[in-house]
Structure formats: structure tokens, C-alpha cells
Amino acid sequence: MSMTDPIADFLTRLRNAAKAQHHDVTIPSSKLKRELARILAEQGYIEAYALLPADPAHPSERITVTLKYTNDRKPVISGIKRASRPGQRSYVDHDHIPRVQGGMGTAIISTSQGVMTGHDARRLGIGGELVATVW
């Protein structure tokens, strides 16, 4: 089976792992996925992430994401949604970056200056591809 949207796969694995209350989840790595993991960690949605090097069993790098839960074992990520898809890209200028859950969530934007939160992109006055929203 060919993977048409690796980012949607990344988000789905996070969503499923959180639902199943797993401690961590391992996902094939890419530059964009590493950036997504970095932002999720910075924003406090996940505990941590680590890069696993390629080995004979897994020819490509992988990311292990350590999920974060509240004291009553609820996942910190209550929702995570793919915004821009390969068949329907979603681009926004800095005036139209969405406020997720009234500012409680985070929009993740891929800009010409790298992947960043909607808040940072708005502050810098740059738009880009709306990759995903997390709350």
C-alpha cells in the first residue's frame, strides 16, 4: 500500500495512540514530521520526541513520540486535524490564520521560513500552508 499522505498518517497514529493510552508511539520520520513533533513538544501537547537511527530492521529513520496525559490520564491532545491535504492544499495569508478553539489550540503552518505555530506566523506577518490544527 502506498502512502499518499504521510502527515495524515503521523497525526492519525498520534490520535490512536492517545486514545489507546499508549506511553509512546513510533512513526517513520521525515523533516516535516520532525518539525511537527518539535512544535507539539514546544506547545506542551507531547512529553518529548526522539529520533531513532536507521538499523537493519528499519531502513529509514523513525521518530518516537512520548505522549502526555493529564493527572486523570486524559490525553493532552484532545483533537488533532489535518488541514491541508495532497489533493486539496490549504494556504492562508497572515490575516487568515485560524484561531483554533478560540485561541486555546494551535495552528501549525509551513511557511517559507520553516514550520511554526499560527501565533508565530501571525506575529511575523507571514502566511503559508496550514498543515494541521491541534487542541
Per residue in 108-123, pLDDT tens? 999 999 999 999 999 9
pLDDT per residue as tens digits for the range 9-62: 999 999 999 999 999 999 999 999 999 999 999 999 999 999 999 989 989 999
**Residue range(s) occupied by CATH 3.30.1370.30 in the chain:** 6-67
Q: What are the cell numbers at 127?
A: 502566511
State the pLDDT at residue 39.
Answer: 97
Prediction pTM value: 0.90
Second CATH level (architecture) for the domain 80-134 = 2-Layer Sandwich (3.30)
Q: What is the DSSP letter of 101?
A: G
Q: How far is CA 94 from the centre of its chain?
A: 20
Measured distance CA(122)–CA(119) in Å, rounded = 5
